[in-house]
Amino acid sequence: MKKNLVSLVSLVFLVGLVSLTSCKKEETLGNSTQFRATMEGCTIQHGKTALDGTALNWVVGDQIAVYGTAGNGIYAATPQTPATTAIFDNVSGETGDAPFRAYYPSTLTTDGVNITLPATQTYVEGSINEFPMYAESSNSELAFKNLCGVLKLHLTMANTSISSIEVVANSEVNGTFSVSYNSGAPVLTYVSGGSNSVTLNCTTAQDISEGADFYITLPATFDSVRSIILTTDDGLFCIKKVKNTSQINVSRSQYTLVTLDENDLEFSPYYYSQDLRRWINLSSTTDLLRDELSGSGFDALVSSLQSIGFSFPFGGNEYSHFSVNTDGNLKLGSTVTGTTYFNHPFSSTSATYNSPKINFLGADGYYLVDRHYVYAENTVDAHNNSLLVVEFCLGSYSLTGRNQLYKWQVHLYPNGDIEIVYPSNMPEIAFPSQHQQGFCKADGSGWIVDQNSNATYFANGTSISWPANTWPGANTVYYFSRNCFVHSL
């Protein structure tokens, strides 16, 4: 069911309520070999005036899953033209007798009990792709009800093309949900396995120079939109912070329309957020430092060269290997990192040493066997994007911090994006000495993040540092564009 959506209006916060489409009662179809399915129609309301402007239709190829007394079957629609009512013929499986439970799309459920809402959606011009619906019936007439609502974004910005849109909410918007029919007004309840964001990916970047519409499906259970993160075709980011979260909510069978233009959008190569879903739990427990011990001791351990697993673009070069040390340094390239210049590693005198490097400890670190570690694993993120995760857990050389667990992850993406993530569980005390957090090329140019989470580009080292007794907050995320060496703030 690709839905043909044609908006007649473009307003900043316009909510369209979906009204129930009347269903003409017809003869009962053959037992579980065919079903007649209807869907909820919709109107758009502005104030007290309803404006017809959106059509939701079945199209050829739509498939539903129907569960009955004997099991479940898949049924396909073959309408001659898009319509709100269609006949669905059995293509596989045996349903048996009523009562029936039906799901659209057919992949929405695997057990006929719970549904799974994905973390990623695919952009379709002027349309919603596979809007989740549910029906219960004692016969072969299925009146499908919408399970979600729709956030419609109308974006306008000159000379800009959008490759993805991420909506971050204050509660889970993807994962496993249970469904209660609730007398024809279905209610979703979050169960497990999800996160608080959903991303709309554009197969081809969409030009918004003259305005473009983007439709994102959201469950009505979520607790308001916290932010909207836009990514351009060259990897630049824009975060639209929602000051009044009550302004952007989505209810079942409602359309919430939001318009953003040049006055709202400002793109940069960096963004900061706090998002618990960015931390990735690793299955690997191979300690790169313990298993490859070298150096003078627990104050100066260095790993052997490790494979990134792909060619990683950084500062105009490509790298296939990395190494790490007890000072939090991740050096890119075919030679292992050293252990000198650990204090203020991005100063004008230190930036070119052990570079190109990524270091978000940025001070003299310490390693205790069976307490500290550095793990690395090639895996996927919440949106199924491949990446390398290097997880650090180190102490401080200062006696007060030697037994602490200072943790962070470095996420390297094949396209060159860099993400730094901190966990929910924080050290008992903040880092006891001054430190610098950032990355740079071999020539000493790069980016530094300060204690206020501001990122600054530097050409030949920098004096910006965190004071003693500070550390990033729980679930902190620093994300840098693949083009961060080309674009500046």
Cβ-based neighbours of 328, under 8 Å, separated by 6 or more: 359, 360, 361, 362, 363, 365, 392, 394
DSSP category for residue 123: -
- In the sheet where 133-137 sits, what is the strand order? 141-143, 34-38, 85-93, 71-77, 63-68, 100-104, 133-137, 145-146
Identify the three-state secondary structure at position 58: strand
Q: Count Cα neighbours of 114 within 13 Å in the Cβ-side half-sphere.
A: 12
Residue type for position 72 = N
- H/E/C letters for each residue in 218-268? EECCCCCEEEEEEEECCCCEEEEECCCHHHCCCCCCEEEEEEECCCCCCCE
Backbone angles phi, psi at 158, to 5 degrees: -60, 140
pLDDT in tens, the chain (489 residues): 544 443 333 323 333 333 323 333 334 454 568 999 999 865 443 222 222 345 678 988 899 999 999 999 999 998 878 889 999 999 999 999 999 999 999 999 999 999 999 999 999 998 888 889 999 999 999 999 999 988 889 999 999 999 999 998 888 999 999 999 999 999 999 999 988 889 999 999 999 999 999 999 999 877 788 889 999 998 899 988 776 545 677 888 888 888 998 888 889 999 998 887 789 999 989 999 975 555 445 788 999 999 999 999 999 999 999 999 999 999 999 999 999 899 999 999 999 999 999 999 999 999 998 899 999 999 998 778 899 999 999 999 999 999 999 999 999 999 999 999 999 999 999 999 999 999 999 999 999 999 999 999 999 999 999 999 999 999 999 999 998 998 765
Could you report the per-residue pLDDT of 401-434, keeping only the tens digit for each? Answer: 999 999 999 999 999 999 999 999 999 999 999 9
Sign of the alpha-carbon torsion through 25, 26, 29, 35: negative
What are the pLDDT digits (tens) for 226-259? 889 999 998 899 988 776 545 677 888 888 888 9
Distance of CA 91 to the CA centre of its chain: 34
